[in-house]
């Protein structure tokens, strides 16, 4: 692979005798890996990634039933180390500030389970839509997705989060092997631009960190300006931060692509501002509440925990103890439960994929072929003598949406935008 000349010169100086090994790795095949979803346990026959809770080497197709049902997430091994080192504890309030397309967020959710709160944010509207798709498929119920600039978030979430992950936009050197196009916009000047953007993002993040909270900063680049020098800058600007972990992942030392990561803890009680939040509240009118209760009693064994909120005709479940979000751009207002229609309520795909076996009163197991056919937009013929009505689709006990069973046929209710082709 032909590397940018200034890039080679820079790393020859930095790596000295390791430089040759470094250069050779660019001609090797990129390392593929995936993580399994602990909410949807599956058996995996693949090589486990060392020191990883959920990771395996190997490639799984975006058209496989494992992907479609949210049982796995493809993520290369070095990128997996970010969530692994962050490892939030249950019940924490966590912010993933630069979250799209959702690799780190889905990993963080794997530790939280359905406890606490994960706010996933990305400044890009286009990318935050992909983030919604990926996290919806993952199926947790304690996640909201925002599409904001960090300064707008800081106005709402002052000293709020126990953990903030900043997987920063960076010069992307660690992606050169996997995505050679990333080389086309690399230059020393681009590295400088990334540095100044990272400092701005970190300064806003610090305003949202709880007094004893944890910051995890990561990049997929090796440039010291964006990595070790950023750590030094942060420690200098915020003397109450203590560095707990710092590591650079080189492809000649670790079986993966490129990554840098650092973890800090805040130790500043004087920072406590005892912020008072106007909490998010339920806003359902009596008709909506009635329709929802009729559906829930008739179709679910699951009693949602959280705040029910209607946005137009759409019903969402928000995690408890959230501040008022009305001033922010919301990409996913919690778990989308369904839609109010005239005189009835229809459950959503998102609810169906977030629930598992025994959460619904009427359910049906699909074969792997049926899952794939359904994701292509086909109905499913299942002559099971079930009563006509909403039926929870399952694949190995894991939810895959709701479908209306009518006289032996499951109508296709898979979101059109998610359909697979071919």
Comparing CA positions, the residue from 248, 148, 229 lying closest to residue 191 is 229
Region of 98-106, 261-269, 353-361, 411-419 interacting with ligand SAM (CB under 6 A): 98-106
Of the residues 165, 216, 220, 335, which is catalytic?
A: 220
**125 binds ligand SAM per the rule CB under 6 A:** no
33 is an annotated ligand-binding site residue? no
- Tell me if 104 is assigned to a ligand binding site: yes
Residue 103 interacts with ligand SAM (CB under 6 A): yes or no? yes
Residue 331 assigned as binding residue? no
Other residues' Cβ atoms within 10 Å of the Cβ of residue 240: 17
Helix ranges, 208-348 (H): 228-237, 286-299
Residue 139 among known ligand-binding residues: no
Known binding residue 102? Answer is yes
What tokens were used for 7? 């890039």
Stretch touching ligand SAM by CB under 6 A, among 91-99, 269-277, 339-347, 396-404: 91-99
Is residue 100 near ligand SAM by the rule CB under 6 A? yes
Residue 190-229 contact track with ligand SAM, rule CB under 6 A, x = bound: -----------x----------------------------
- CB-based burial label for 61 (10 Å; 0-12, 13-18, 19+): exposed
Length of the chain: 422
Binding ligand SAM (rule: CB under 6 A), the pick from 92, 97, 112, 117 is 97
Question: Applying CB under 6 A, which part among 122-130, 185-193, 251-259, 358-366 lies near ligand SAM?
Answer: 122-130
Residues β-bridged to residue 94: 118, 163
Which of 311-316's residues contact partners 24+ apart within 8 Å by CB, and which partners?
313/339, 313/340, 313/341, 314/338, 314/339, 314/340, 315/284, 315/288, 315/339, 315/340, 315/345
The reply, when asked if residue 170 is annotated as ligand binding, is no
d(CA 405, CA 408): 7
The yes or no reply on residue 122 touching ligand SAM (CB under 6 A) is yes
104 touches ligand SAM by CB under 6 A: yes
> Does position 150 bind ligand SAM by CB under 6 A?
yes
100 is in an annotated binding site: yes
Compare residues 124 and 358 and give the one whose CB is closer to ligand SAM. 124
Kindly report the CA angle at 172 between 168 and 174, in degrees rounded to 5?
115
Nearest approach, Cβ of residue 227 and ligand SAM (Å):
14
Q: How far is the CB of 361 from ligand SAM (least distance, A)?
A: 36
Give me the least distance between CB of 366 and ligand SAM, in Å please: 29
Q: Which one of 12-20, 121-129, 285-293, 352-360 is the stretch in contact with ligand SAM (CB under 6 A)?
A: 121-129
Q: Which range binds ligand SAM by CB under 6 A, 45-53, 57-65, 86-94, 118-126? A: 118-126
Q: Is 194 flagged in the annotation as binding?
A: no
Q: Is 170 a catalytic residue?
A: no
- Please return the burial class of 113, using the count of CB atoms within 10 Å of its CB with bins 0-12, 13-18 and 19+: middle
Q: Please check whether residue 33 is in contact with residue 58, taking contact to mean a CB–CB distance below 8 angstroms.
A: yes
368 Cβ contact list (under 8 Å, min separation 6): 65, 395
C-beta of residue 135 within 8 angstroms of C-beta of residue 120: yes
153 binds ligand SAM (CB under 6 A): no
Rounded to whole angstroms, what are the CA distances from 139 to 119, 247, 383? 15, 31, 29
- Between CA 80 and CA 82 the distance in angstroms is 5
CA neighbours within 13 Å on the CB side: how many for 240?
A: 14
CB 226 within 8 A of CB 195: yes
Contact residues toward ligand SAM (CB under 6 A) are 97-104, 122-124, 127, 149-150, 167, 169, 201
Which residues form the catalytic set? Answer: 220
Q: Which residues are annotated as a binding site?
A: 98-104, 122, 167
Q: Which residues are annotated as a binding site for S-adenosyl-L-methionine?
A: 98-104, 122, 167
């Amino acid at each position: 692979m032909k590397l940018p000349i200034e890039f080679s010169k820079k790393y020859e100086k930095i790596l000295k005798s390791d430089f040759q090994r470094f250069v050779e790795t660019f001609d090797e095949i990129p390392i593929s890996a995936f993580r399994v979803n602990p909410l949807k346990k599956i058996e995996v026959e693949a090589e486990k990634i060392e020191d990883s809770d959920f990771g395996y080497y190997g490639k799984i197709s975006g058209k496989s039933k494992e992907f479609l049902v949210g049982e796995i997430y493809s993520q290369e091994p070095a990128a997996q180390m970010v969530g692994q080192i962050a490892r939030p504890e249950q019940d924490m309030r966590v912010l993933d500030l630069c979250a799209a397309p959702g690799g780190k967020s889905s990993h963080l959710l794997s530790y939280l389970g359905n406890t606490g709160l994960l706010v996933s944010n990305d400044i890009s509207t286009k990318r935050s839509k992909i983030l919604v798709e990926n996290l919806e498929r993952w199926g947790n119920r304690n996640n909201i997705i925002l599409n904001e600039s960090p300064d707008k978030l800081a106005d709402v979430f002052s000293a709020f989060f126990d953990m903030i992950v900043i997987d920063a936009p960076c010069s992307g050197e660690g992606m050169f092997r996997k995505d050679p196009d990333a080389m086309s916009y690399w230059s020393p000047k681009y590295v400088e631009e990334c540095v100044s953007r990272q400092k701005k993002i970190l300064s806003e993040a610090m305003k949202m960190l709880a007094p004893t909270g944890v910051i995890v900063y990561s990049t997929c680049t090796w440039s010291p300006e964006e990595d070790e020098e950023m750590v030094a800058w942060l420690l200098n600007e915020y003397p109450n931060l203590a560095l707990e972990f710092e590591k650079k992942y080189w492809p000649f030392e670790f079986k993966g692509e490129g990554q840098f990561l650092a973890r800090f803890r805040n130790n500043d009680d004087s920072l406590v501002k005892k912020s008072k939040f106007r909490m998010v509240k339920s806003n359902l009118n009596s008709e909506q509440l009635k329709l929802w209760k009729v559906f829930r009693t008739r179709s679910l064994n699951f009693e949602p925990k959280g705040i029910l909120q209607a946005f137009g005709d759409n019903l969402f479940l928000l995690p408890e103890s959230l501040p008022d979000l009305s001033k922010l751009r919301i990409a996913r207002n919690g778990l989308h439960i369904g839609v109010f229609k005239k005189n009835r309520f229809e459950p959503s795909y998102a609810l169906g994929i977030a629930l598992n076996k025994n959460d619904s009163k009427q359910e049906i197991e699909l074969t792997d072929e049926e899952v794939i056919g359904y994701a292509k937009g086909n109905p499913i013929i299942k002559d099971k003598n079930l009563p006509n009505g909403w039926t929870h689709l399952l694949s190995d006990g894991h939810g895959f949406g709701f479908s209306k069973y009518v006289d032996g046929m499951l109508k296709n209710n898979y979101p059109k935008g998610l359909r697979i082709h071919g």
